[in-house]
Amino acid sequence: MAIHWYPGHMHKASKEIKEALPKVDLFIEVLDARIPFSSENPVLTQLRGVKPVIKILNKSDLADPLITQQWQDYLEKEKGVKTLALTSSQPERIRQILELCRKLLPNKQGKIIHAMIMGIPNVGKSTIINILAGRTIAKTGNEPAVTKAQQRIDLSNNIVLHDTPGVLWPKIHNPHSGYRLAVTGAIKDTAMEYEDVAFYAVDYLLKAYPQNLMQRYELDSLPQTELEFLEQIGAKRGCLRSGGQVDLNKISKLLLTELRAGTIGVVSLETPAMREAELQQLVIEEQKQAELKAARSEQKSKKRRKR
């Protein structure tokens, strides 16, 4: 399932980003530490060329620290990439971004550095900007798509920050990424059904973090399926319809709210190994689609020749 969710201001923002590229010295990409693969912009590698990038693994207090370290090691294998694992409760660590900008551009000592900061909706980019600026510059909020226009912000240490709206790409081809974005709240809840997203989340958590689920919901053992799990905790939490039937929509909302808040414990929804496997699968799918398209085209050509 490919997900389409691309408000009009995002299309405009993508165009403005490309136009601003020539004057940008460095990129700061804010990722969700729980989903560094799914929250990255797939075209940034092409956009930046040889320009350095700082990848911020934000909300790291909600992510599994061991897997976050795996991601940092993995991402820094790429030339020109540095990473920082941050949370909004660590303003001093966030300010290290400015120092890192200088280190990555030694030839710009004493000169103005133009840095472009980007990130998907609801990833915490605005909070980082406000801490770097030392004042409220960007509007913050828990809803995706809060920032809708580019801003230019003069920071200390001769650094100019070019802020961009939270941009998603027009089509999310990897179905896993679509679900993970929905699980973490990067995609508006109206874009997908709560139950679908909760079923995906529970399926993963039952395999990867069973102890978290048992501890949070006070279970002696775990059910085998997502439906059984949701029905069991729905009954425990009183998410019932008339007649005693579990209200799946209500318990799905509750579970996703608790997962996003970290109440279920620190959780990472993907690993570098999962990224590699899913990228390979996407290549296979694209090859199949290309072959199918070529076969259809050949079929049409044969029909035309017969006429």
Do residues 242 and 222 share a domain? yes
Summarize pLDDT for 130-151 with one digit per residue, the tens: 999 988 776 555 444 444 456 7
* Residue 103 and residue 207 in one domain: no
pLDDT of 57 strictly over 80: yes
Summarize the confidence of residues 168-179 as an average pLDDT.
74
> Based on the domain organization, do 162 and 67 belong to the same domain?
yes
What is the per-residue pLDDT for 143? 44
Q: Determine the Cα–Cα distance for residues 57 and 133; give it in Å rounded to an integer.
A: 19
Quick check: 43 pLDDT over 80? no
Residue 278 lies in a domain: no
* One domain, residues 208 and 160: no
* CATH code at position 124: 3.40.50.300
pLDDT of residue 157: 75
46 vs 227, higher pLDDT? 227
Considering the domain boundaries, does residue 165 fall inside one? yes
pLDDT of residue 45: 75
Structure confidence at residue 145 (pLDDT): 42
Q: What is the pLDDT of residue 171?
A: 57
Please state the pTM of the whole predicted model: 0.84
Whether residue 184 sits in one domain with residue 165: no
Q: Which pLDDT does position 239 carry in this prediction?
A: 95
One domain, residues 135 and 28: yes
Q: Give the structural domain span for 226.
A: 172-261
Q: What is the average per-residue pLDDT within 48-58?
A: 93
Residue 169 pLDDT exceeds 70? no
Same domain, 74 and 177: no
The band of 122, judged by pLDDT with boundaries at 50, 70 and 90, is confident
Do 199 and 84 belong together in one domain? no
Alpha carbons within 13 A on the beta-carbon side of 104: 25
Number of domains in the chain: 2
Q: What pLDDT is recorded for position 164?
A: 75
Output the average pLDDT for the chain: 86
Which has more confidence, 214 or 286?
A: 214
Reported as a pLDDT band with limits 50, 70 and 90, residue 212 is very high
pLDDT above 60 for 2: no
